[in-house]
Amino acid sequence: MVLEISDSNSEKGGFPPPTTTKEVPTTYYTTTYSYRYGEQANTRRLLLAILKLATCLCLASWIYRFALPGPATLHLPSKYSGALRDDPASEFADDDFPLRVHEPWDISVDFPYPRTLSYEVTEGTWLRLDVHPVSGDIVFDMAGDLYCLSADAYSGAGRVRERTEAVPVLTGVPHDADPRFSPEGDRLAFKSDAGLGADNLWVMPWAADGCTAMDVRAHVSSSRELELKIQDEELLARGMKETDERKLRRLTGEGRTDARRITNETYNWVSDLRWHPSGDKVVATKRYYSSRSLGAGEGWEFPVPTFNTKSQIEVGAGKRLVSKNLPMGWTKADYVEQQIGYEQFIWAGDDALIYAGNVRDVDGSYTYSKDVHKGIYAIFGRNLTTGAEETLVSVSPGGASRPTLSRDGRTLAFVRRVRDKEALVLKDLNTGTLHHVWHGLTYDLSTIYAPMGTYPSFAFTPSLSSPGIIIWAAGQIWHVPLARNAEGELVAATKVTNNADLAPNVIPFTAHISKKLAETRRVKTDVRKFESGPQRIRAFTQLALDEAGGRAVFAGAGQTWVQVLGNSLINPTTLDPIDDANFLGTSKPAQRIPHLHPSAGYYSPSFVPASSFALHARWDNLHFSSLELADLESGQVWNVVGLPKGRWFGAVASGAAENGVRTVVLVKTGGDVLTGNVVATAQTGVWVGEITLPSLSLSLDTVALNNLRHVPSSVDLSDVVKLSFVDGEASEVLVQQSDRALRLSLRDGAEQVVAQGKETDELIFSPSGSVSSKSSRRAERNNAAGGAAFISLFHVYYAPPSSVDSEKEMWAKPGKAPKNLARLSGDGGHDVVFSGDGSVIGWFLGPYLHTLPLSRLPSCKGAIGADSSTFGIDCVRGLLDVTAVDVAYTPDVQRLSSEAHQSIANGAQKSMQEHAAGSNADVVIIHNATVLSMANGVLTRDLRSGASVVIRSGVVEAVGGSGVGEGLRGAFVINAEGGYVVPGFIDAHAHWSGTEDKYPATSWEMQTFLAYGVTTLHNPSLHNSLGYVERGRIESGLMAGPRLFHTGTVIYGASDYSIHQDIASMREAREALVRIKAEAGDASWSYKNYNLPTRAARQRLLTAARELGMLCVPEGGMNYDWDLTYIVDGMTTIEHNIPVSKLYDDILTLYTMSGTGSTPTHIVDYGGMPGEQYLWATEDIPNDLKLRTHTRHDILEGLSESTSRPFNSMALWNVSASVANMVHRGLRAHIGAHGEPPLGLMYHQEMFYAKAGGLSNYEVIRAATADAAITFGLFDSLGSISAGKLADLVVFPPGFDLLQDDIRQTRNVRYVIRGGRVWDAATMEEMWPVKRKRVLPPFNAE
């Protein structure tokens, strides 16, 4: 539902369907400033003096600027001298990213586009435009191409205008945008990602004859030229290398033969260029990433090359004019982390700039959901000679952005929000008067990070006698006539003339769009097939090696294992980590570590040195951690007593002692996501105790942990913590965290840092050898006695002793890495460890355990020294030993059948007839149901009343009328009482928080998802390996939960040193995807690129994804231009909404016809107040009984207070309307709740938002089930109630009309069925095949 209230029917916020929930009043806050009594009088005198001085200065300034005659120039106060300004960016080297230079790539020819989409439009989305300074012709961008519209389309008042054809002047694969004419009109500059795919500035000649002469279609006028064009495109689509002749034809046909670079950025990017009056240079916004992928802007000046120049533009060349500011308390070293900058720079004379900036985020961090009515952006001016600056337009009310100067420099135009409208405002720089000339604009995007601009570029017409503004709004290009009033100020023409014909009017146009499209990524995954047999565990964690590196222990799927190493038949140089042929007899099978409780979760295993024993921990949801001591040879197990109740992990024992007593060190943590913060949260940290190994001849079944005491330390318990004893001694322990390793004295807690990493994920230090003192280190630098290994940027590295300096951070940036650093991993790795004697390094990648005896490494010394980019990996790879860890668990389908038959056996049947019923023990029948199967995508074919569903062994066997299933004695029967039965819901964009908890606790998060009918989760950002460790706990039956799929860690473009990836080569692209897919095999079928700044990197990943069989679900990221390239390049979906909330035919058609799907996540919509806040404001979340049954109360209570905000502050209503429009055209949309609290219920609120834009209830359910399954390639197994598919279903109570009632009532689920297993959704008590209720940790105090 879309609100259309404005002079031009431009889109606004919308009104949702009526709600019966209570209204929440607005909350007001007051800040009080207090002074100590003795200071009040002096303070008041000082303030009065300042006020008088300011008054005098203001009066003098007014007289000088306005009362005295003079030209219309930008005057700026000079109290801030440029000489006194200390540039915050003066120490910012900007030399960390990209990590490596990109290998050659051309987005137009190195990636295939076999499809062509052609269509006509009479409207467009977010058209950035300029007006020729002489002819008045309009040039604008649309869908990534540039078009020209003759001035005849709007010149002449009062006549009825026919549609004028906008002719294409720049086309092709590159995404071109924001064109700007030079001051003389002889050149056109624009933003383009041509070449490598980074957003750069380009310039090309502009013909004196304007649109007609620039029409690129003139280059393909003959049938022969057309034939060659088609032939050339076919050759490119087939991957045939482009010849020079074909390249010239392509560039000519696109209109870019004479285009020249202005900038050459390969990581940062530039936009919003504006010409200097001289025509020799431009100013533009150059955007920089922080660790967050929001590019903060600076103002940069770039010289414009001549067309006869042949010299290359140096990477990063240009001159910084305006830096970001530093928040209070920040130093220059923090500059890169400033997320807020300036943008939309324009020249105001030869040496002055006007620009806009977000002034609400003042602490350096970008925030969402700001109040557009109070204003977010302000407009500033700066004199570049003196450094003087001032605020030209203040932030309140409604903000001010997209500054644009009139041709004579006197009038500053900008846009701002005015209540429920968007205004075009003029400020006369001579008088300071503001005039609101038109309220017909589309809402600006100041509420979001908007690299495409908070409003599309617009321009004044060249005529001084009949001035006007050409501007985009509501899908059209508008002419806004202006006139001068008695004071000489520009105002709306209708205010001066009272001529209605001079009101703002549409400039009607038509345009032909032709786009080259890549094939959309599609992959089919047969979930039923790989869940029907034994499932191999592929994701392991908590690795430990024995003393010599001959054995390993580790955890996976909530169990602990021991593996004998050596004699592997796998060739490390040819290893493909996703090829299961490697498991065919190449290694000895792993064995479970002997244990006492088969149904418990086990974790944190370690070897006891010089013995046959291993320690590991057992988890109980009520009693928490326990330790067990297992003899790996005899299989005997002892329970370790003496450990207080708490969360314990990481236990390691010291080497042999004369008295037989071993020292044990372990860590106690406080609360976490899954276990809460209520029980056993005190006395956390490092603890030490003593244990005596038992004699096998004794019959004792317990071993005591004695003298347990706390050791004070600075250990970060929320981080990685790996413990090992130093040199076998019991007095000191190495504590190894993600980015530091330290020696900790167990006697007095004294600490010494021995190694540091720069944003490393893991860092370990050799347990052998001692560490030189700090004083001796000064005398002999770089002489650490122990080598170190670390995980940096997903790879495993080793730094020899001579390269480890405890005072220097280590990382793997070429040119900044430690000397002689060696890369050990081919495709990546995690859980890196040393053997007990420090002679072997080991790590995991998927089910492949890699080990390297360090004695082999010198053979690659030369290769390591010569390879400054990948640190010798091509040599080192051949030195590795690789063991395929081959262990599996019984899939739920088999467990379900076994449990069902066991339940009947336990029922003590008394007759042969009842015994015969055992053949149907694994059958569930749902009868008297209204089945909405979603099998056909058409309501009339999918709906069946009085129907029955038969499920056998977790698979749908039949769907039919009331007679289906009759005679199947012994089956479990559900009487639906006429209630609806639908496929289980798929949360296409889910997040949750407990994956990286250290303990295998039962997850209330997973249980909550199930309770609300979500039977399949797709998380587009989860830890590569730990996400699949959690999946293994679900699939192996350790806990209940939906089917879990995820993308692994996002492939991240921003300057986060721990997860950044360049993807500067095809090798990097394949490695990035292999290390995701290796952790789950067939269950890993997607990846997510997250604001990668070069299109080349994104195309490389898509190319690798074709080989590896993976889908791409990119982060939308609030970048409109990049989103369009995701669609054109064939990405599977776009996660989040296109940031322009109301889309028009150019993008509606492109998006719909491309095949890319949409997961809009209105819950966290880009643009004003997100949907989650509307739910919090309108419902009593903390007191919802179902939520309080399944969810942590502290999370619910955090949602108690909210603020009432108008619906026109919520762009999600327009997003919903745009998505609904595309769904009706054929787009597949999906429901994704983003993991926002409250889990489960928020999914159904997302359904409500999906419906608000115009979808029917049926279409919403289709998006939640079949459409998501089809997009993700799962429809052969999931997404509909069809024979042969996995039985994931939701049963609603009788009386609820799913097709007509409020869609939010889908939250009231009666039963949820996942793979045939049935739960009561209200209580999550399992009803079948075993009647039970799983115990959750005590995470609530009441």
Q: Is residue 1320 over pLDDT 50?
A: yes
Residue 222, C-beta contacts closer than 8 angstroms, at least 6 positions apart:
none
Q: Which residue has the tokens 């495709």?
A: 827
In the chain, what's the furthest Cα-to-Cα distance? 112
Confidence of residue 4 (pLDDT cuts 50, 70, 90): very low
Q: Is residue 355 over pLDDT 90?
A: yes
DSSP 1115: B
In 300-339, which positions are buried (b, 16+ CB within 10 angstroms) versus exposed (e)? bbbebeeeeeeeebeeeebeebbbbbbeeeeeeeebbbbb
The pLDDT value recorded for residue 43 is 36
Q: Is residue 1142 over pLDDT 70?
A: yes
Q: Is residue 10 over pLDDT 50?
A: no
The pLDDT value recorded for residue 58 is 42
Provide the token pair at 788: 């170190």
SS3 content of the chain, % helix, strand, coil (to 5): 20, 30, 50
Residues 720 and 736: their CA atoms lie apart, in Å, by 7
Omega within 30 of 0 (cis) for the link into 1329: yes
The pLDDT value recorded for residue 1196 is 97
- Looking at per-residue pLDDT, the higher value among 516 and 1 belongs to 516
Question: How much is the average pLDDT of 819-846?
Answer: 97
Minimum mean pLDDT range among 724-738, 816-830, 999-1013: 724-738
Omega within 30 of 0 (cis) for the link into 397: yes
Q: Is residue 432 over pLDDT 60?
A: yes
901: enclosing H helix or E strand: helix 892-905
In this prediction the pTM is: 0.93
Residues 1235 and 1245: their CA atoms lie apart, in Å, by 12
Question: How much is the average pLDDT of 1043-1052?
Answer: 98
Confidence of residue 463 (pLDDT cuts 50, 70, 90): confident
Q: Is residue 13 over pLDDT 80?
A: no
Residues 286 and 308: their CA atoms lie apart, in Å, by 26
Q: Is residue 583 over pLDDT 90?
A: no
Cα 989 off chain centre by: 10
The pLDDT value recorded for residue 1258 is 98
The residues facing 798 across adjacent strands are: 789, 822
Residues 1133 and 1271: their CA atoms lie apart, in Å, by 8
Provide the token pair at 340: 């807020």
The pLDDT value recorded for residue 160 is 55
Q: Give 1215-1239 pLDDT, tens digit per residue.
A: 999 999 999 999 999 999 999 999 9
The pLDDT value recorded for residue 913 is 52
Q: What proportion of the chain, given as a percentage, has pLDDT over 70?
A: 91
The pLDDT value recorded for residue 55 is 42
The pLDDT value recorded for residue 773 is 39
Confidence of residue 772 (pLDDT cuts 50, 70, 90): very low
Residues 1142 and 1166: their CA atoms lie apart, in Å, by 12
Q: Is residue 777 over pLDDT 90?
A: no
Q: Is residue 983 over pLDDT 80?
A: yes
Residues 720 and 997: their CA atoms lie apart, in Å, by 11
CA distances 544 to 650, 718, 912, Å, are: 10, 20, 55
Confidence of residue 20 (pLDDT cuts 50, 70, 90): very low
Mean pLDDT, rounded, of the chain: 91
Q: Nearest to residue 955, comparing CAs of 922, 933, 985, 916?
A: 922
Residues 810 and 879: their CA atoms lie apart, in Å, by 23
Provide the token pair at 86: 């200390």
Residues 705 and 711: their CA atoms lie apart, in Å, by 16
The pLDDT value recorded for residue 700 is 84
- Looking at per-residue pLDDT, the higher value among 36 and 201 belongs to 201
Q: Is residue 915 over pLDDT 90?
A: no
HSE-CB of 1087 using CA atoms within 13 angstroms? 29
Q: Give 641-665 pLDDT, tens digit per residue.
A: 999 999 999 999 999 787 889 999 9
Question: How much is the average pLDDT of 1281-1292?
Answer: 98
The residues facing 840 across adjacent strands are: 853
Q: Give 215-259 pLDDT, tens digit per residue.
A: 999 888 788 888 998 899 999 988 899 999 999 999 999 999 999
Residues 1078 and 1060: their CA atoms lie apart, in Å, by 20
Q: Give 1054-1066 pLDDT, tens digit per residue.
A: 999 999 999 999 9
Residue 799, C-beta contacts closer than 8 angstroms, at least 6 positions apart:
787, 788, 789, 790, 810, 818, 820, 821, 822
The pLDDT value recorded for residue 961 is 94
Phi/psi-derived region of residue 1295, left when phi > 0, alpha when psi is between -120 and 50, beta in every other case? left
Question: How much is the average pLDDT of 272-285?
Answer: 98
CB 1325 within 8 A of CB 1317: no
3-state DSSP assignment of residue 337: helix
The pLDDT value recorded for residue 30 is 28
DSSP 1026: H
Q: Give 1181-1215 pLDDT, tens digit per residue.
A: 999 999 999 999 999 999 998 877 898 999 999 99
Question: How much is the average pLDDT of 38-56?
Answer: 38
Phi/psi-derived region of residue 1051, left when phi > 0, alpha when psi is between -120 and 50, beta in every other case? beta
What is the end-to-end Cα distance of the chain in Å, rounded? Answer: 42
